[in-house]
Structure 1
């Protein structure tokens, strides 16, 4: 990606070519009123949100950092770092310069500062004690009003994060008896600054007091044990946070009053509603739309203040597996009542798209996964254009913790060219890998430096992409149609965005190698000129639609291009060459097969399978114009996947028709290792699991059997452990364990150091690929840049993940691209380790702690619970 070339193209569009091409620019914001606290709502389709975790962004008032409760320590990620509302206001030039038009902040309300039951602090804002006061660490009400006025004066908008489901952790259960809710309860008397909420009616939190119990402001329940149990999801505690009884009208009335306060007193323009899946949809509907004059719904109240388009979007942490939509339907449920059609939330965070976009761009999944997700989202969600889109946030790993810079650039371009409200998580523009690292020098994980570099490559790229989106209304208001996908692997993904007569074409190559876009039907006239609006590869230029309205392009690794027909056509040169295939599409084969055909005007060409130019086979044409070749299918194993091939001569720019086929092959067991039970205690048998009850006595890190299976050059690992748990609702289907796997490919020179694990692989192997998989991430690294402290370089495609909970087995399938050049898997070596991962390998400390492994020194001792010997495929 050449940032300078993209910048020059976009600047030309913004200041000249955009008008010539008939682009519809974003209308200027209306002249703000004299009182900048309250301004009319914008068209949210035209906004770009910058999401700030206030405590970690900028410190404008050091005097409020430490409230004297032992809660402040920038060296500790569990405690306050010092960011505040004044800090955000001081950086508005930086944020607006990026192209953002709105700022979303984490809850600014008075919080529980320190919870000794979990040894963690409320710096993030989601543990409220009072929904109507600004937390002392954040500043004052006047500071908040000042930020609001400063934003509105720039034509920008303010989004406040709010919580309906829970408040701070003031009680927990050691055991639970629904017949006696006071049995087994522990009050959090050591919490700072106070044990319970101070705001009425939420101050009735002490279930040991009969009058509090009888008020039913809270549910007197334990923490959720089964996220698939809807009763628990709605009425039990999320991670021990005291669950509000939102079926109680008095509670909902107080919540409406509390959040209407911020609209009235601060001029907030939108709410992000946290954890909505844990609140009944009918409660959400009442909270938003109630006509109660004493306690109006927040959308009704905002309308009374002139904010007719007040936006509320919910957070439902939901992601679907490929070609499934169960969780997407749950997201849609919170936007509209499926029976009555009554409106609920105007928007929801597009978590389903987040997961699939990460799988495709960062982990190299087939682009058909993204095609399905876009199509289902358009069909299921009432208002896709009001659904904020994102690549990462404060609750998940940073994109760059397991994805490459090139993948992130593609993800950003995708987010800026599809429906939805793009959300940029603070620090993405500076290349952050730390989930909640600070932008300011004295904050947590900052490395002692400020990170507000407006010349940083990713800052420059995002600025260019926001300009692209603002310049062309089709990206903000248009409707997408997927034109091409790759069913088998990473590679081509193409879609059009259309808004009336306005049309753009977006083309990606998500692969780390060159790929061929062949015979894409554009439905445009032959010879149509496609003007290049933006690209991520320096060699890109305008394109011309070929015969039959088809477009074919050679796309470099990680290319992305945005085209717009300029309305002109150019006569095509006479056809001088032709290649035909004798086989018909749609067959299923069990192994390598012969392909034949004819050719004129060329002496040779390449057979390109699934778009992959790096493995394309050169074929010579016989004097009589015939040809034949064998198509190898050793890396193809899934009978449900449709593959494609095309014959192509680059010099003559001639292609055959595209042929499709499927492959039906079986996996065979290659190596089985039976691992002893109970040896998940580290290299010297002295490690212990964290003491938190969520680990229980499950021994999730105890390997029991590891089986290596193969089909051609595709490798599958079946990892059986003592238990599979899903306590924290992990998207990958297992939690409380991370697998780190090292793969040694014959004929290559690798490394022996095990990054971040204080260890080296056993004698007899060096690794070429390293896989790190846990409940929320899936990353593949090669050895470039790897060291004792550095992961290496993220590459794709990553392993695909399946979980068989009945047999306590996690199955990882490694694609044949990892074994390029091999004809079989013979000689491949694999080494498997277990630990756990939470934004980094979970710490190891000498003595027992709630959230850390213990029994060793994590600065020098190996971070390995259990491991296998080196497993070599015969």
Structure 2
């Protein structure tokens, strides 16, 4: 990353008065009041959030760690580790030094500390027993007030996570009879510190108590079985957490009173609202905007305390499929009622963008998917600049659990140069791969050391990126226009940001190989100078726009460039060479095809297809200035994808026009393996699924048929199981099983160890690539660094996923980029295993447990339910 130096900023600002740089620098915060508990709201477009899971961040007071209920054990990821509010206060220098301007903390309220029904603890804060008390593990009300004052005195702000949908798990149904909600009830009497909320009216939680049923504070319903059923989504229990009846005015009044308490007593500046999809959207009109003097809405109450721009943003976990916007529309409906046009939540976490960023930057999907998402965001979301953007969080895999550091650096730069409120999840700056690992030495997953290293490379990068965003208002308040995308693969992605009297260009190469940006229309005058503001990758420097206002660049693997025009124009030199193409754009081909044309002033050049310089062919110009070459389409199979090619002479910096074409070919079956039914019981025949009812008798890990299909050097792996389920509403379209697929490429040297599975691949193969795919993650690794405990090095593109529910089949498509050098798949070997994954392979224990496989020793026995033999393509 190129530093944003004062000298460089001065150069940019001094080059042209039209940039108006002085007015675009972020103004210094006003001096804090004598008591900084309450401060006016900021312009949230200018803020950068640092998201802290309080129990896992910093331990400022060890005396409050253990409350004596068996809930504290830093060696156990299910229990409290010891982080607290004082710890956050103690580390404000570290957070502010990163460039964050506000902190978002997980709910600090009094929680259920241990749930024996699920063998898990409430260290995270989302299992409330009281909405208006600080949990003693985290400190006191005074500690929370000190944190607020400490932030406000620095010109920083405080966002608190809140929950409207549910409280702790105090009752559950073993079966459900809606005509008798007292039947088949299990009360969570073993919960610690006690069973049931302690705050009125939420203390009326027992369905077996007639007075409690009459009060109707909770829904007397079971856990959600079908996330596509709106009645269940809004009124049933999310993972057995007791569902609040927000149709009851008494409930919403109590919620408003509870959360107004934190605004009034602590000076909280904003709320992140958990699980909003499980709350009727109509609830938010009352909760946020009610004029009731006794129970005002939280935004109205904040306004009465001088917080005119109080921020409330919701969490709606919804990720769109490529080129689809159903999830985005659902997210948008919680910001503005689509029927009435009334404003609801000011912002929503941008989950659709999160999903697409991961697909494009981490998993190597075509950059056209990100172009589509950005365009739809502008059209669908009422206030895109108030939508927090993020790369990962406490509910999903860390970015680095399946993406490379180079991909993370790109995604961070992207997030800092587009609309939205950037969110940095704690530990990203230290390269965390553990989803909820601790930053402090004695906490869970810390590696036995404090992790507050301000010299860490990612810390330094993020500090520079936050400086870039703060120094140029166009990135905080501007509007993007996508200028170039790659429809076929990872590669070039370019957009222009405009606003606040500024314009900037941001260019990425999301591919792991060198790529070519050709003929990018900028709308600027020929010869316009572009000053480099920031970059990733080598060989970066200022640039100039060529003839026709077009910009062309050779971009190293995983490079990025941020440019701003200076206003200076130097006319380009006269054209001395030219390359033409004989064919026009728009053809559809079924195989390799011939390309021809003319050239003057050059003797050789390259034909670059889809920007990929690594596979570009060199062409020699014949007598009379004519040339011809054959274009290979070995890895191209999707007729819906538009490919592009250009002829390019690097030394002369000459480009032909860009031609587009499509390829229409079909896949052919290469090999089919019929797998026995009922053999999902492990290598020794003694494994069992977890006892939780969500697994049922579905046997999602029982392979029934595996079919390998090919087209050129593109491989499809169709995995039919006993049953494909979507019980937990997974973003990838299937759940309760993870597929690990090992691929051996002929002519390459691989390894045999199966990372994190206590096993090796069968004799006769060595793997070169390893795909790990489950409902919420999709990662591809090569062998670099791989061991029994380390997965290897993330690479892209990861597998494309298709799900056929009716056929109980999940199909993975592996790109021809992985099989470079092969014209077909002869000799490729595949080995498939099943298990399940939840932030790591699901544990295996000797005896029955609700959330763990059982019947073996997870420290030594293979984590394999079912597998195939080695499948060698003939």
TM-score bin (small chain): over 0.9
Distance across 1 between alignment mates of 2:457 and 2:7: 20
The Cα of 1:16 is off from its aligned counterpart by: 6.8
Distance across 1 between alignment mates of 2:628 and 2:9: 52
2:383 matched to which residue of 1?
A: 383
2:421 matched to which residue of 1?
A: 421
1:130 matched to which residue of 2?
A: 130
The Cα of 1:31 is off from its aligned counterpart by: 1.5
Distance across 2 between alignment mates of 1:282 and 1:691: 37
Please tell me whether the aligned partners of residues 13 and 471 of structure 1 are also in contact (alpha carbons under 8 angstroms): no
1:171 matched to which residue of 2?
A: 171
The Cα of 1:836 is off from its aligned counterpart by: 0.5
Please tell me whether the aligned partners of residues 10 and 534 of structure 1 are also in contact (alpha carbons under 8 angstroms): no
Distance across 2 between alignment mates of 1:48 and 1:596: 52
Q: Deviations over 1:705-761 (max 9, x none)?
A: 000000111000000000111111110011110000000000000001101111110
Q: CA RMSD in A?
A: 0.8
Matches within 5 A, 1:138-287: 138-287=138-287
Distance across 2 between alignment mates of 1:138 and 1:769: 44
2:343 matched to which residue of 1?
A: 343
Q: Determine helix, strand or coil for the equivalent of 2:271.
A: strand
The Cα of 1:486 is off from its aligned counterpart by: 0.1
Using the TM superposition, name which of 24-33 and 445-454 deviates more. 24-33
Uncovered stretches (5+) of structure 2, i.e. residues with no partner:
none
2:77 matched to which residue of 1?
A: 77
Q: Deviations over 1:441-465 (max 9, x none)?
A: 0000001100000000000000000
Matches within 5 A, 1:796-807: 796-807=796-807
1:118 matched to which residue of 2?
A: 118
Distance across 2 between alignment mates of 1:656 and 1:20: 33
Please tell me whether the aligned partners of residues 773 and 779 of structure 2 are also in contact (alpha carbons under 8 angstroms): yes
Q: Deviations over 1:132-154 (max 9, x none)?
A: 00000000000000000000000
Distance across 2 between alignment mates of 1:31 and 1:220: 51
Distance across 2 between alignment mates of 1:510 and 1:10: 26
Distance across 2 between alignment mates of 1:444 and 1:623: 71
Distance across 1 between alignment mates of 2:116 and 2:760: 37
Distance change in 2, residues 1:187/1:14 (3 Å): farther
1:613 matched to which residue of 2?
A: 613
Distance across 1 between alignment mates of 2:338 and 2:241: 30
Distance across 2 between alignment mates of 1:263 and 1:823: 64
1:317 matched to which residue of 2?
A: 317
Distance across 1 between alignment mates of 2:873 and 2:98: 51
Please tell me whether the aligned partners of residues 10 and 533 of structure 1 are also in contact (alpha carbons under 8 angstroms): no
1:12 matched to which residue of 2?
A: 7
2:396 matched to which residue of 1?
A: 396
Please tell me whether the aligned partners of residues 15 and 568 of structure 2 are also in contact (alpha carbons under 8 angstroms): no
Please tell me whether the aligned partners of residues 12 and 566 of structure 2 are also in contact (alpha carbons under 8 angstroms): no
The Cα of 1:12 is off from its aligned counterpart by: 3.4
Q: Does 1:62 align with 2:62?
A: yes
Q: Determine helix, strand or coil for the equivalent of 1:103.
A: strand
Distance across 2 between alignment mates of 1:297 and 1:337: 17
Q: Does 1:308 align with 2:308?
A: yes
The Cα of 1:419 is off from its aligned counterpart by: 0.2
Distance across 1 between alignment mates of 2:421 and 2:775: 27
Q: Determine helix, strand or coil for the equivalent of 1:807.
A: coil
Distance across 2 between alignment mates of 1:794 and 1:222: 40
Q: Determine helix, strand or coil for the equivalent of 2:741.
A: strand
Please tell me whether the aligned partners of residues 530 and 565 of structure 1 are also in contact (alpha carbons under 8 angstroms): yes
Distance across 1 between alignment mates of 2:373 and 2:498: 18
Distance across 2 between alignment mates of 1:522 and 1:378: 21
1:777 matched to which residue of 2?
A: 777
Question: Any runs of at least 4 consecutive aligned residues in structure 1 with deviations exceeding 6 A, and if so which?
Answer: none
Distance across 2 between alignment mates of 1:73 and 1:337: 45
Q: Deviations over 1:745-781 (max 9, x none)?
A: 0000000110111111011110000000000000000
Please tell me whether the aligned partners of residues 535 and 561 of structure 1 are also in contact (alpha carbons under 8 angstroms): yes
The Cα of 1:10 is off from its aligned counterpart by: 3.8
- Alignment length (residue pairs): 869
Matches within 5 A, 1:714-753: 714-753=714-753
2:331 matched to which residue of 1?
A: 331
Distance across 2 between alignment mates of 1:450 and 1:471: 31
1:489 matched to which residue of 2?
A: 489
Q: Determine helix, strand or coil for the equivalent of 2:302.
A: helix
Matches within 5 A, 1:814-853: 814-853=814-853
Q: Does 1:453 align with 2:448?
A: no
Please tell me whether the aligned partners of residues 10 and 468 of structure 1 are also in contact (alpha carbons under 8 angstroms): no
Q: Does 1:704 align with 2:699?
A: no
Distance across 2 between alignment mates of 1:710 and 1:68: 60
1:860 matched to which residue of 2?
A: 860
The Cα of 1:623 is off from its aligned counterpart by: 1.4
Q: Deviations over 1:338-372 (max 9, x none)?
A: 12211100000000000000000000000000000
Q: Deviations over 1:517-574 (max 9, x none)?
A: 0100001000000000000013100000000000110000000000000001012111
1:98 matched to which residue of 2?
A: 98
Please tell me whether the aligned partners of residues 831 and 870 of structure 2 are also in contact (alpha carbons under 8 angstroms): yes
TM-score by length of 2: 0.99
Using the TM superposition, name which of 313-322 and 495-504 deviates more. 495-504
The Cα of 1:501 is off from its aligned counterpart by: 3.0
2:570 matched to which residue of 1?
A: 570
Please tell me whether the aligned partners of residues 10 and 464 of structure 1 are also in contact (alpha carbons under 8 angstroms): no
1:510 matched to which residue of 2?
A: 510
Please tell me whether the aligned partners of residues 14 and 467 of structure 1 are also in contact (alpha carbons under 8 angstroms): no
Distance across 2 between alignment mates of 1:368 and 1:463: 29
2:43 matched to which residue of 1?
A: 43
Distance across 1 between alignment mates of 2:872 and 2:561: 43
Please tell me whether the aligned partners of residues 15 and 566 of structure 2 are also in contact (alpha carbons under 8 angstroms): no
Please tell me whether the aligned partners of residues 57 and 439 of structure 2 are also in contact (alpha carbons under 8 angstroms): yes
Please tell me whether the aligned partners of residues 15 and 567 of structure 2 are also in contact (alpha carbons under 8 angstroms): no
Please tell me whether the aligned partners of residues 384 and 420 of structure 1 are also in contact (alpha carbons under 8 angstroms): yes
The Cα of 1:15 is off from its aligned counterpart by: 6.9
Please tell me whether the aligned partners of residues 129 and 168 of structure 1 are also in contact (alpha carbons under 8 angstroms): yes
Please tell me whether the aligned partners of residues 58 and 439 of structure 1 are also in contact (alpha carbons under 8 angstroms): yes
Q: Determine helix, strand or coil for the equivalent of 1:614.
A: coil
Distance change in 2, residues 1:245/1:133 (3 Å): same
Distance across 1 between alignment mates of 2:367 and 2:650: 24
Distance across 1 between alignment mates of 2:435 and 2:9: 34
Please tell me whether the aligned partners of residues 12 and 564 of structure 2 are also in contact (alpha carbons under 8 angstroms): no
Distance across 2 between alignment mates of 1:793 and 1:823: 25
Distance across 2 between alignment mates of 1:103 and 1:200: 30
Distance across 1 between alignment mates of 2:171 and 2:158: 34
Distance across 2 between alignment mates of 1:362 and 1:553: 23
2:581 matched to which residue of 1?
A: 581
Q: Deviations over 1:462-488 (max 9, x none)?
A: 000000000000000100000000000
Uncovered stretches (5+) of structure 1, i.e. residues with no partner:
none
Please tell me whether the aligned partners of residues 755 and 791 of structure 2 are also in contact (alpha carbons under 8 angstroms): yes
Distance across 2 between alignment mates of 1:510 and 1:829: 28
The Cα of 1:380 is off from its aligned counterpart by: 0.1
Distance across 1 between alignment mates of 2:660 and 2:12: 41
Please tell me whether the aligned partners of residues 738 and 835 of structure 1 are also in contact (alpha carbons under 8 angstroms): yes
Q: Determine helix, strand or coil for the equivalent of 1:530.
A: strand
Distance across 2 between alignment mates of 1:216 and 1:343: 29
1:599 matched to which residue of 2?
A: 599
The Cα of 1:14 is off from its aligned counterpart by: 5.4
Distance across 1 between alignment mates of 2:54 and 2:7: 36
Please tell me whether the aligned partners of residues 25 and 472 of structure 1 are also in contact (alpha carbons under 8 angstroms): yes
Distance change in 2, residues 1:399/1:547 (3 Å): same
Please tell me whether the aligned partners of residues 18 and 471 of structure 1 are also in contact (alpha carbons under 8 angstroms): no
Please tell me whether the aligned partners of residues 388 and 421 of structure 1 are also in contact (alpha carbons under 8 angstroms): yes
The Cα of 1:693 is off from its aligned counterpart by: 1.1
Please tell me whether the aligned partners of residues 36 and 152 of structure 1 are also in contact (alpha carbons under 8 angstroms): yes
